Each structure stands twice: as structure tokens, then as C-alpha cells.
Amino acid sequence: MEKFTTKKLKKLFTSFFLEKQHKQIASASLVPDNDGSVLFTTAGMHPLVPYLLGKSHPEGKRLVDFQKCIRTSDIDEVGDKSHLTFFEMLGSWSLGDYFKNEILEYSFEFLTHKKWLNLPIYKLAVSCFEGDKNSPKDTFSYNKWKTLGIKEENIFYLPAEHNWWALGEVGPCGPDSEMFYITNKAPCGKECSPACSCGRYLEIWNDVFMGYVRHKENGPIVELESKNVDTGMGIERTVCVLNGYDSVYEIDSLKPAITMLEKLSGKKYDENEKVTRAMRIIADHLRATTMILGDEIPTLPSNVGRGYVLRRLIRRSVNFARRLNIDAFALEQVVLWYIDFFKEDYTSLQNNHSMIIEEFKKEIEQFNKTLSYGLKEFEKVKLQSKNMIIDGIAAFRLYDTFGFPMEITKELAHEAGYTVDEKKYHEKFAEHQEKSRASNTQVFKGGLAGTDEIYAKYHTATHLLLACLRKHFGNDINQRGSNITAERLRFDFNINRKLEKHELQLLEDEINKIINQKVDVIMRETSLKEAKESGAVGIFEDKYGDKVFVYSIGDFSKEICGGPHASNTSELGHFKIIKEESCSAGVRRIKAILQ
Ligand code: SER
């Protein structure tokens, strides 16, 4: 059989749906736009949720794309044959246009026609929803597959556990019909079906009949007005299956990274299980690292949210590289290869090329510093431990003081034949989080909590943005909302019109000019009355006590605020507006990042 590559599969899938009058849309950012419940985009349909719920899509009712996704829930499984943190997903949608009949015909044609995947019909199995209180038994799909030519022995009814798809606790959902490739493995028993994990049936595609929605957690599942179709094909898994590979690491978007790691370490990938696992973890984590840093909304390593996931990915890679005797900085080569491989499909990788490398190296430097202290500390902890169990409080201290993610402590413990008291660790961790939350609220009365350096920079950038908005659009412009994450700032302000492109450019240029002038950020404690008299801008006045902090940035900005702030504008890097949109009547919203 001819070898399939991820590039070829992408081309075939999108061409097929283009022929069926679908429009191709670009992959959305890994940072979800309208969903605060998860850190990353986790499925192809994720960015399309508003449209599945009825909003009209500018490109029409038939869409196709490939989407970059990150799932971190399985991070501990990475290293086996199939789990990945970053993956790509092909998807097609009917937004209230065609439904089951057409998509099942399309699916069959794409899988079996010689112009497309050309799979023999006898190698295909499918599953259909067996029905429950939310939705009836899907006899339509069963009969349709039969008419199309799938043998009844290869059509299975399965329960919601297998054939009901939902993005999360709330949102659009529905029964699905999944397609499987039948391998040469014999059935594992009489009951063998696509529901078991014996390896006979490997999933390649999923057609979800997204005609339902759950509005709140544990709430009822209700029918949607528009009946949508959402299909998703995991690119890595499908290419692996189609080629008959033993693991996903054999495919074109991962294998070259493994080969580079072999060269760098002088070890063979299949030398022993430990080496195989380590190389897979590094290859996976560096791929995810490249995509997160190089996203159109880049995330930088930090101790919160997405930044923390990124930090763990980089630090784990370094840790496993160390075991293979690979110098951490040499991993840059692998990152460069990933940029090169993916840059045509995800152009932000090109634009962010030097930033990706700089930030990657910076994080390694920082980790190296803490690592040498931490390893010494770990040896001490080991000596003090009883019954070969690493104390949970000591493990927490390793995290808190030495920057050791728990999993690194676990790995080190495991290697030395120790276990870690994880329960105690998690208790301590939760206690710590509660304490820091409480103290943040205390310190940052302005409501902009966050001790991280990156937060401080965004905070200062927000002041500059308000100052420049007032300068150009009038002193009656005020803050109507502000939200800072480690990845971006979001600022809402009152103005009764859209800002034009050239006006956004003007704001960006002016802010970058101030950044480049290396202006000190000065904090002064004073009375509210005096602060106001000095012309300081303040928004949440009722929240301030009698004493307030006034932050000044040269002559440009003077604001009452709880901080924290950068100490000099030069720390901010480069300011870039990524979005300007309406927020509510008379209020616009700007999202901006520091690069
Ligand atoms: N949403 C479904 C999935 O992720 C199909 O796109 O599998």
C-alpha cells in the first residue's frame, strides 16, 4: 500500500469537501476565544461552538478545515504508542444544512472511493448510537451503512459511553457514528466490538449528529433548532492506522524528530523501553511547545494556566533529554525542525520564529539554574525519607522553592525505587493556592490579581493603552473592564464607534515608542484626594481606601492602581493589538499581546 503522509491526508480531505461545496476555513488559535472553561482548543469543532448553536458563519453552512489542538488531560500517558498532547484534527461541518443521509454518503465515498482513501469495504466497521432517554436508537445510520455496502456483522450499536459526543459539561452535543479500520488481529472473543480496546478495531473518523445542547452542568439535554453535522478525523492516528504503523511516532510529522534525538543521543529509539518512552515524550512535548509558543496568540512559560502547561512541557523535555545525555540547548534543533515542518500550514510559526527560539532557550536557562539546586535538595529529601516514601510536604517544597514540577519529582523518585506521598502534596498545594489567592486579593485591591512578572508587564501595558486612547480619542474615555492573563491583555473602554486599522496602528506605534524610550514606572503612595487633584486616573474609586498607590509612567500615564507593575517600560518587549471588537453598546474591546 502506498504510504500516507499527514500532508497528503490533509490535502485529500479538504479537496474532497471542497468538491462537495464546502468552504475551507483557517485553523483557529490554540487559545480559545470564547471559552474560559479550558486552557486550550481541544477539538476541531471547539472554535465553531457559537455557529453550532445557531450563529451564522461568514463562510456559509458547509465548512472544512484542519485544526491544531492540545489536550493535556492525558499528559501522563504520553510515551505510549498513541497519546499525544498536540495533535491536528480534520473536520467538516454542516451548520443546519444537510444531515445524516448526506454525511454518511460522503464518509463512505471518502473512505472507499479510489480517488480518495480507497480502503476495501471489508476492512471497515462502524458504530451507531443504541439510544437512551435523550435520543432514540439510530436505526437510520444503521440502515444507511448497510445500504452503502457495510456488512451487518461490521455494524455495531453502542451506548452513550461510546457513541455520544460532547465537548464538555455544557454545549452542543449529539449521538455519533464512528468509523473503524479492521486490523488483522483476530477478535478477542465473542463480544469483540469497536467498544473494546483489544486493537482489532481502530477508530479513524467520527460523524457527530450535533442536534442537541446542554445549557448548564447536569442540566437537561435539549434539541437544537438547527441540526448540524460535525465530523472529526485525528490526523496522526488515521495516518498511523492507514500505514499499518505500530505507533504514531512513525508518521511524517513526528518521526524526523525521533531520528534527530537518536543522532543527538547516540542511542537507538528501540534500544530499550526507557529510551523509546523518553524519545517519544521529548518529541511530543517539543512539538506542543513549538505550537504553543508560535501560536498567533503566543503563551510564554509561567506559573499559571497555559504558561504553566508550557513550562511543564519544556521542563519535562529537558529532564528526559538529560537522561539520554542530550544537552538541553541542543533540543533547539528539534524545535527548528518543527517550525519548518509546520510553517506552511500555520504561518504564525514563521512570524514568531525568533521569539519561539528565544523563549525556549530562556526557559531552559531558568530551569537549569533551579535544577542543579533542586537535584541536591532531592537527594537530601531522599535520605530523610522513611519507608522509601518521599514526604508530600518535601515534594511541595521542591515544587515551590526549586521549581520542580511534581511529575519530575515523581520520575526521579520512581527511578530510585521510591514513591511520593501525592495526597499530602496535593493538600499542601491546595492550601498554598488558597493562601496566595487570599493574599493577592489583599494586596491588589484594584482587583487585578496576579504576582507573576508577566502579569505585571501586561498591567503596565494596559495603563499605556488607556493613556494613549485618552490622548487620541478624548479624556472622557475610561476603563470599562480589564482582564489580564499570562498571554494577553483585554481592555474594554467607552467609545461609540469602531476603531479603524490605521488608528490601531497609531496606538501600537505610540505604545512601542514609549516602551523603547525605557521609561521608569514610579509608584507613590498618597491620599485619594491628593491623587485625584494631581490628575491621576482612577476607575474603581469606591474600592479604594484612603491611601492609594499612584503609578506614573513618565508624563504619559498616571493612574491609581493596586499594581503590580513592571519597573521600566523596556521590560514590556513589543506591544501588538490582535483584536478590536464590539463589547456592548458604546463599549469596544481591545485584545493585545506583548511579544
Ligand atoms: N467533535 C468530534 C470529535 O472531536 C468530531 O469532530 O471527535
Which pLDDT tens digit goes with each residue over 208-226? 999 999 998 889 999 999 8
Burial class (CB in 10 A: 0-12, 13-18, 19+), 281: buried
Q: Are residues 185 and 41 in the same domain?
A: yes
Which CATH number is 31's domain given?
Answer: 3.30.930.10
Question: 238 with 281, same domain?
Answer: no
Q: Are residues 183 and 309 in the same domain?
A: no
Quote the ligand 1 centre to 71 CA distance (angstroms).
13
Contact 284, 78 (CB under 8 A): yes
The finding on whether 107 has its CB within 6 A of some atom of ligand 1 is no
Q: What is the 3-state secondary structure (H, E, C) of 477-531?
A: CCEEEEEECCCCEEEEEECCCCCCHHHHHHHHHHHHHHHHCCCEEEEEEEEHHHH
Instruction: Single out the residue of 440, 423, 469 nearest to residue 564, CA to CA.
Output: 440
Looking at residue 445, what is its pLDDT? 31
**Does residue 85 or residue 319 have the better pLDDT?**
85
Angle 128-133-134 from CA coordinates, rounded to 5°: 70
The phi-psi region of residue 512 (left if phi > 0; otherwise alpha if psi is between -120 and 50; otherwise beta) is: alpha
Atom of ligand 1 nearest to the CA of 167: 1
Assess whether the C-beta atom of 48 lies below 6 angstroms from ligand 1: no
- Same domain, residue pair 274 and 211: no
User: Which residues have CB under 8 Å from 423's CB, separation 6+?
Assistant: 392
Tell me, in angstroms, the distance from the centre of ligand 1 to residue 288's CA.
Answer: 20
Same structural domain, 240 and 268: no
With a 6 A CB cut-off, is 91 part of the ligand 1 pocket?
Answer: yes
Question: Would residue 354 count as lying in a domain?
Answer: yes
Q: Give the ligand 1 atom nearest the CA of 43.
A: 4
Domain boundary among 249, 278, 298: 249
- Assess if residue 299 is contained within a domain: yes
407 or 269, greater pLDDT: 269
Is 183 found in the same domain as 53?
yes
341 with 486, same domain: the answer is no
The torsion angles phi and psi of 80, rounded to 5 degrees, stand at -85, -160
For 457-505, the pLDDT digits (tens) are 888 999 999 998 999 888 888 887 788 877 889 998 989 889 999 999 9
In-domain check, residue 309: yes
Q: pLDDT-derived band of residue 444, with 50, 70 and 90 as boundaries? A: very low
State the cell numbers at 572. 514590556
Residue 497 and residue 473 in contact, taking contact as beta carbons nearer than 8 Å? no
Among the candidates 317, 335, 369, a domain finishes at: 369
- Selection from 169, 223, 175 nearest residue 54 by Cα: 223
Q: Per the domain annotation, does 412 fall within a domain? A: no
177 lines ligand 1 (CB under 6 A): no
Show the domain range for 88: 6-249
Say if residue 500 is in the same domain as residue 579. yes
Number of domains in the chain: 3
Residues 6+ apart with CB under 8 A from 345: 10, 27, 66
Question: Are 238 and 276 contained in the same domain?
Answer: no
pLDDT average, residue stretch 523-533: 77
pLDDT score recorded for residue 374: 83
Note the pLDDT tens digit of each residue in 124-174: 999 999 999 999 999 999 999 999 999 999 999 999 999 999 988 889 999
Q: What percent of the chain has pLDDT over 90?
A: 66
Give residue 175 CA to ligand 1 midpoint distance, Å: 11
> Is residue 408 domain-resident?
no
Residue given cell 504619559 in the structure block: 556
Residue nearest to atom 6 of ligand 1 (CA): 232
In angstroms, the CA 121 to CA 474 distance is: 68
User: Within 10 A of 114 (CB to CB), how many other CB atoms are there?
Assistant: 7
- Please give the Cα distance from 192 to 196 (Å, whole number): 6
Please state, in angstroms and rounded to a whole number, the distance separating the CA atoms of residues 27 and 88: 10
**Cα distances (Å, whole numbers) of residue 443 to 192, 380, 481:** 60, 35, 20
Instruction: Give pLDDT, residue 546.
Output: 61
pLDDT value, residue 212 = 96
> Atom 3 of ligand 1 has which residue's CA nearest to it?
232
Q: What is the DSSP letter of 31?
A: S
399 part of a folded domain: no
Binding site membership of 49 for ligand 1 (Cβ less than 6 Å): no
In a shared domain, residues 119 and 155: yes
Is the model's pLDDT at 564 over the cut of 80? no
Index of the ligand 1 atom closest to the CA of residue 210: 1
Give a three-class secondary structure readout of 294-347. Answer: CCCCCCCCCCCHHHHHHHHHHHHHHHHHHHCCCCHHHHHHHHHHHHHHHCCCCC
Beta-carbon contacts of 119 under 8 Å, excluding residues fewer than 6 positions away, are 111, 112, 181, 242
Other C-beta atoms lying within 10 Å of the C-beta of residue 581: 10
Distance separating alpha carbons of residues 116 and 316, to the nearest angstrom: 40
What rounded mean pLDDT belongs to the chain? 90
pLDDT digits (tens, 9 = 90+) for 571-590: 898 999 989 988 877 889 99
pLDDT(542) > 60 = no
Is 45's C-beta closer than 6 angstroms to any atom of ligand 1?
yes
Q: Supply the pLDDT for residue 540.
A: 44
Ligand 1 centre distance from Cα of residue 231 (Å): 6
Boundary of a domain, candidates 369, 404, 429: 369
**Residue 19: pLDDT over 60:** yes
Our answer on whether the CB atom of 205 is closer than 6 Å to any ligand 1 atom is: no
Is 404 inside any structural domain? no
Residue 44 CB–ligand 1 contact under 6 Å: yes
**Tens digits of residue pLDDT in 416-441:** 999 999 999 999 888 877 765 554 44
Q: Report the alpha-carbon distance of residue 595 to residue 390 in Å, rounded.
A: 40
Three-class secondary structure of residue 592 per DSSP: strand
At 234-276, the pLDDT tens digits run 999 999 999 999 999 999 999 999 999 999 999 999 999 999 9
Residue from 70, 129, 117, 106 nearest 229 by CA = 106
The average pLDDT across 336-358 equals 97
pTM: 0.71
507 CA → ligand 1 middle, Å:
40
The tens digit of pLDDT for each residue in 468-480 reads 899 988 888 888 7
Mean pLDDT along residues 70-99:
94
pLDDT higher than 60, residue 195: yes
Query: Same structural domain for residues 296 and 179?
Result: no
Looking at ligand 1, which residue's alpha carbon is closest to its atom 5? 232
Probe ligand 1: pick from 27, 162, 176, max atoms within 8 Å of CB? 176
Q: Do 467 and 589 have their domain in common?
A: yes
- Residue 41 phi, psi (nearest 5): -65, 125
Band (545; pLDDT cuts 50, 70, 90): low
Per-residue pLDDT of 280-328, as tens digits, reads: 999 999 999 999 999 999 899 987 789 989 998 999 999 899 889 999 9
Phi and psi for 96 in degrees, rounded to 5? 70, 20
* pLDDT for 436: 58
Facing residues of 558 across strands? 552
- What is the CATH classification number for the domain harbouring 474? 3.30.980.10
Query: Does residue 187 belong to any structural domain of this protein?
Result: yes
